[in-house]
Amino acid sequence: MIEDRVSKLIKPAILAAKAYHVPDSSGFIKLDAMENPYVWPEEIRREWSEQLQQAELNRYPDANVSQLRTRLTEVLSLPEGTAMMFGNGSDELIQIILMALNKSSNVVMAPEPTFVMYRLLSTMMELNFVGVPLNKDFSLNLAAMLKSIEQNQPAVIFIAWPNNPTGNAFEQDSLEQIIKAAPGLVVIDEAYHAFAQKSMLPFLLEYDNVVLMRTLSKLGLAGLRLGMLFGASSWITEFDKLRLPYNIGTLNQLSAKFIIQNIDLLEQQAAKIRNNRESVLTGLDSIAGIETWLSEANFILFRVSGKNANDVHNELKEKNILIKNLHGTHPLLENCMRVTIGTDEENQAFLSALNSILLG
């Protein structure tokens, strides 16, 4: 029977895993996935498609991604001597880091709740994932982290900064203590850098056990899939061996290079999103029965009381609004949901739908 063959051949960790579920979102006001809600002006779209016409799709892509690399080095103020590699989204970079680990040290750690891919990919690779609970207010439990580091000697610690789904950026002092205590690598994941406007890039100079990730996804190019990993070349050289030779396609390289020349556009959009984040927060705070947390990202975490989050989530869907339900994903996230900041109209539609659901 085919089932027998499958279960004999496939790793138990994969058989036991659930596929990463992406809900069908067609027709919804989509506020579930931290996408930038704005499209490019007509003029920019035309220039972009002209650039794409230069692509020679009969040829393999530039394996070293050299032009894009040069452009990025110009716009990012990277510390002297920092090496860089690209992934098909930062998800791929997380996977590559995990694949590279020596079998002798198979513990991966992160504070939780956090970005689910750290745990998911570790589990699928049969690594031992240790999640250390955050405090109730979602601040880092430094004492618990340090104790767990001591006990578990993790090969890698992932820190999303700001954290997803809580939106806060942990205290830098605490992070430095973690970096100093870590026997292995600390990966700082700055997926929300554009909305936090602060970075731990300077730490790459100070600590040789830190690497840092960014992505273009949350900045406005989720469809492109481009993640970046920065760090000392001693680390990057090893990780780069695991990268499939042409993981960044020609169209992706051209598009990323083009948009980086127009980075002002994305930065203006990010500024608008940061402003709108404050109005959504004010809007949420004015609804009775809602608890919110401050966010330095392009989403807001909130909790409903007096009503179950599953019901509220479903009723929002009935009103054509899709946000992320976090109830049941972690004990600290009881009745919590996460809403991505959209356009003014989308935010308004969300707030008035939520208001009427909670009143009803």
- Alpha-carbon distance of 137 to 159, in angstroms, equals 17
HEC secondary structure over 284-324: HHCCCCEEECCCCCCEEEEEECCCCHHHHHHHHHHCCEECE
- The answer to whether the CB of 75 falls within 8 A of the CB of 260 is yes
Question: Residue with CB nearest ligand PLP?
Answer: 89
x/- track of binding to ligand PLP for residues 29-48 (CB under 6 A): -----x--------------
Nearest distance in Å: CB 213, ligand PLP: 7
Phi, psi of 294, deg, nearest 5: -65, 140
Q: Is residue 346 a contact point for ligand PLP (CB under 6 A)?
A: no
70's tokens: 């040069």
> Residue with structure tokens 């127009």?
262
Beta carbons within 10 angstroms of residue 335's beta carbon: 20
Question: Secondary structure of 318-330 in the HEC alphabet?
Answer: HCCEECEECCCCC
**Distance separating the N- and C-terminal Cα atoms of the chain:** 53
Q: What are phi and psi of 292, to 5 degrees?
A: -125, 165
CB of 233 to ligand PLP, least distance (A): 22
Name the one range near ligand PLP by CB under 6 A: 57-65, 87-95, 241-249, 276-284.
87-95
To ligand PLP, the closest distance from the beta carbon of 88 in angstroms equals 8
- Residue 274 C-beta: closest distance to ligand PLP, Å: 17
Kindly state whether residue 90 participates in binding ligand PLP, applying the rule CB under 6 A.
yes
Alpha carbons 293 and 237: distance in angstroms, whole number: 39
Quickly list H helices, 17-65: 42-52
Which member of 111, 154, 184, 227 binds ligand PLP (CB under 6 A)? 227
Nearer to ligand PLP, 34 or 333 (CB): 34
d(CA 235, CA 82): 10
Of positions 107, 191, 219, 284, contacts ligand PLP by CB under 6 A: 191
Q: Smaller CB distance to ligand PLP: residue 89 or 184?
A: 89
Among 95, 122, 209, 215, binds ligand PLP (CB under 6 A): 215
Stretch that binds ligand PLP, among 86-94, 121-129, 235-243, 270-278 (CB under 6 A): 86-94
Residue 113 found at the interface with ligand PLP (CB under 6 A) = no
**Binding residues for ligand PLP, per CB under 6 A?**
34, 89-91, 115, 160, 164, 189, 191, 215, 217-218, 227
